[in-house]
Amino acid sequence: MLKNKIISLVGARPQFIKEAIIASEVYKTNAWNHILVHSGQHYDTNMSDLFFQELQIPTPQYFLEVGSSSHGKQTALVMEKFEDILLLEKPDMVIVYGDTNTTVAGALAAAKLKIPVAHIEAGIRQKPKDMPEEINRVVTDHMSSLLFCCSELSSQNLKQENITKGVFISGDIMYDLFLRMKPHFLKEKMLHDFNLQEGEYTLITLHRDFNVDNKENLVSILEGLKGFTEETKLSVIFPMHPRTRNRIEEFNLTKYLTFMNIIPPIGYLELMGLLEGCTNVITDSGGLQKEAYFAEKQATVIMPDTGWREIIKSGWNQLVPANKAEELLPCILENKSIIYPENLYGDGKAAKVIVENIMSYLNR
């Protein structure tokens, strides 16, 4: 029987991570002819190549090289260039991941050519409705034929929008990857390289537009972090996204960088190594707040709301919006006695469920 052809579209860091686990399951089961397309939304070595090397992701067959620009332009560029690939390759399905501009562009281009779309990490919903990632999620979910949810809550979110067909609760592929790569996390190396003591430092990441592009919010967060480190005497390690570095320079806020150990963006194994060794996490990353939970570390999430509401509901992670960043310390102290909530995002076998269901959809 002729094998189905599926195009998997990636473009930004969190998608490379997810592709790693799906590609490995596809190759293991020889499920279909898998074509990888990289939009080029992230392009710096530390934001892209490093992930391909570390996670042994096969080199993409196509690079669209869209680079950075405004939302409209970036999304349009991915659509335009991806459509050419779709017309050339005529795939049986397109897989998109998460909530980036690459995700929504891929889903729209495919759906308009009547190519079915599988959305991995479907059904996440977060306020405010006008944040770019939320717009991307909602549009992508409504374009998709198969929707793989990390949790029951995500599938309920879809039901509220009348999306019930093709919905599967697969669990989270990021948990699959976490369990698989755990023996390779570079904890000792990172502790050594950055002169950190295990259990005596906080891991920070920050990159959301609403936190870093708004000077008032950024100052409030940096003040909150300063107060937190002065009180706790914990060291701080902060792998910094280029967007955040650019804004700190533009807003003349470099004085805040002296009390933190700022390092360039790092790969998955390095970040997970830092995570394993830290006391706690402060972040606005969707991925890291969940990885903190996988590693049984508590995260303070600098957002007014999060898509990963299960962890907040359990009390393990807590939300602190930018304008209340002075509450960081009391929040972290108060949060210490919570019992670890098990199994919020499946059993680490999400990729198997996803690949099997895609196969049965295509062979129906």
Q: Annotated active-site positions, please?
A: 207
Q: Which stretch binds ligand UD1 (CB under 6 A): 219-227, 238-246, 255-263, 321-329?
A: 238-246
- CA–CA distance from 132 to each of 18, 100, 102, 103, 330 (Å)? 20, 8, 12, 12, 30
The yes or no reply on residue 249 touching ligand UD1 (CB under 6 A) is: no
Choice from 18, 34, 42, 125 touching ligand UD1 (CB under 6 A): 42
Nearer to ligand UD1, 289 or 300 (CB): 289
Under the binding rule (CB under 6 A), the answer on residue 80 touching ligand UD1 is no
- Could you tell me the CA-to-CA distances from 151 to 205, 261, 354 in Å, in that order? 25, 35, 13
Choice between 43 and 361, CB closer to ligand UD1: 43
Largest CA distance in the chain: 66
Residue 136 beta carbon to ligand UD1: minimum distance, rounded to whole angstroms: 6
Site track 60-79 with ligand UD1 (rule: CB under 6 A), x = hit:
--------x-----------
Sheet harboring 62-63: ordered strands across?
62-63, 33-38, 5-10, 93-97, 117-122, 146-149, 167-169
321 close to 346: Cβ distance less than 8 angstroms? no
Is residue 44 a contact point for ligand UD1 (CB under 6 A)? Answer: yes
Q: Among 94-102, 300-308, 315-323, 332-340, which window interacts with ligand UD1 (CB under 6 A)?
A: 94-102
DSSP annotation of 2 reads P
Instruction: Give least dist CB 361 to ligand UD1, A.
Output: 27
Least separation in angstroms between CB 135 and ligand UD1: 9
Please report whether residue 290 would count as binding ligand UD1 according to CB under 6 A.
no
Pick from 9, 12, 50, 167 the residue near ligand UD1 by CB under 6 A: 12
Site residues for ligand UD1, 128-147, by CB under 6 A, read 132-133
Q: Which is nearer to ligand UD1, 13 or 34 (CB)?
A: 13
Residues in 166-195 at the binding interface with ligand UD1, rule: CB under 6 A: none
d(CA 332, CA 281): 10
Task: Please state the closest distance from residue 345 (CB atom) to ligand UD1, in A.
Answer: 18
Sheet holding 280-283, edge to edge: 261-263, 235-239, 201-205, 280-283, 299-301, 318-319
- Please give the structure tokens belonging to residue 311: 């962890």
Q: Which stretches does DSSP call E strand in the chain?
A: 5-10, 33-38, 62-63, 93-97, 117-122, 146-149, 167-169, 201-205, 235-239, 261-263, 280-283, 299-301, 318-319
How far is it, in rounded angstroms, from Cα 308 to Cα 305?
Answer: 9
For Cα atoms 76, 56, 280, give the angle at the middle one, nearest 5 degrees. Answer: 85
- Selected range binding ligand UD1 among 95-103, 107-115, 166-174, 192-200, rule: CB under 6 A: 95-103
Q: Of 25, 54, 89, 99, which one interacts with ligand UD1 (CB under 6 A)?
A: 99
Identify which range of 16-24, 26-34, 97-105, 319-327 contacts ligand UD1 by CB under 6 A. Answer: 97-105
Query: Is residue 321 a contact point for ligand UD1 (CB under 6 A)?
Result: no
DSSP 158-208: HHHTT--TTEEE---HHHHHHHHHGGG--HHHHHHHTT--TTSEEEEE---
Indicate whether 157 belongs to the interface with ligand UD1 (CB under 6 A): no
User: Contact positions toward ligand UD1, by CB under 6 A?
Assistant: 12-14, 41-44, 47, 68, 99-101, 132-133, 207, 242-243, 246, 286
